Amino acid sequence: MLRFKNLGSGSAGNATLVEAHCGTQVSRLLIDCGLSVRELGKRLIAADLNLEDIDAVFITHEHADHVGHARAFAQKTGADVWMSKGTALACNLAEWDLGPEQFNVARDGEAIQIGALQLHPFTVPHDAREPLQLRCTDGDVHLGVLTDLGHGSSHVVQALQHCHALLLECNHDPALLAQSSYPGFLKKRIAGPQGHLSNEESAQLISALVHPSLNLIVAAHLSERNNRPDLAQSLVAMAAGCQASEIEVADPLLGTPWFKVH
């Protein structure tokens, strides 16, 4: 059994919990740690879990909304830490003061086994040093986790074929971004090919990934200023061939309930 719960999604801090069950074995991974340890602890308690229940944390890239509190989390819990070499360099991992063998290097195309959970990292086009996003599986069903990318490259499309569930960035509506008070350089960065996915680009990606067993799409990493859930839902639903109300949206501050992948 594979299930996941987003604990917060967006510039205020990202964290997603993925849990795999195999017989009596339960394995839990935190993807990104942009929430303070205190806040994370509170949200885990609300999900009937504790900080110590997390086996490992996977950091997708060095932007503060993803890695911001990972050091404190890793030091407090002793959980294994996974990230690319480039991300480790970019966030000065050598100074994190981790325990021996607590850090593990993740690489594009190399599977990682964490108990009952298997991860398949893949590179994405984003303005970070060596960003990786993930496909997660319990060996039966597959979940794709994809935030922070500027466009859906063919490598991304290849890596996420035949997923049963997707947590997918729908960052902005181009018109709202163009009208916003953001400085010009930032608008250019966000809309650029190494920035973030617009609703239209996310919908295009869904068109390339949709198949009869894709049962759940969660729109994530929505900009609070430059997007609205209904805009993301309607475009993604059109591409997926479902109703807008069937597209779930991760609340930037509250995340989502648990979703079982099936």
Q: Are 245 and 236 in contact (CB under 8 A)?
A: no
Interacting positions 154-213 with Zn ion (CB under 5 A): none
Contact residue for Zn ion among 148, 173, 201, 248 (CB under 5 A): 148
Interface pattern 19-58 for Zn ion (x via CB under 5 A): ----------------------------------------
Size, binding site for Zn ion by CB under 5 A: 3
Which residue matches tokens 């594979």? 2
Burial zone of 150 (CB within 10 Å; 0-12 exposed, 13-18 middle, 19+ buried): buried
Compare residues 116 and 146 and give the one whose CB is closer to Zn ion.
146
Interface pattern 99-128 for Zn ion (x via CB under 5 A): ------------------------------
Compare residues 40 and 214 and give the one whose CB is closer to Zn ion.
40
Compare residues 3 and 66 and give the one whose CB is closer to Zn ion.
66
What is the DSSP code (8-state) at residue 98? P
Name the minimum Å distance from CB 87 to Zn ion: 11
Give me the helix-helix angle, 70-77 and 37-46, nearest 10°. 70
Name the minimum Å distance from CB 215 to Zn ion: 26
SS3 39: helix
Interacting positions 51-90 with Zn ion (CB under 5 A): 63, 65
Name the minimum Å distance from CB 14 to Zn ion: 6
Cβ count within 10 A of residue 228: 15
Name the minimum Å distance from CB 11 to Zn ion: 7
Q: In what order do the strands lie in the sheet with 112-114?
A: 112-114, 117-123, 132-137, 142-146, 165-169, 216-220, 248-249
Compare residues 149 and 159 and give the one whose CB is closer to Zn ion.
149
> What does the alpha-carbon distance between residue 216 and residue 247 come to, in Å, rounded to a whole number?
7
**Which tokens in the block code for residue 164?**
């049963």
Question: Near Zn ion by CB under 5 A, which window of 68-76, 142-150, 184-192, 240-248?
Answer: 142-150
Name the minimum Å distance from CB 149 to Zn ion: 9
> What does the alpha-carbon distance between residue 242 and residue 245 come to, in Å, rounded to a whole number?
8
Phi, psi of 87 (to 5 degrees): -65, -40
Compare residues 63 and 142 and give the one whose CB is closer to Zn ion.
63
Compare residues 63 and 164 and give the one whose CB is closer to Zn ion.
63
Name 181's Cβ contacts closer than 8 Å, sequence gap at least 6.
none
Tell me which residues touch Zn ion (CB under 5 A).
63, 65, 148
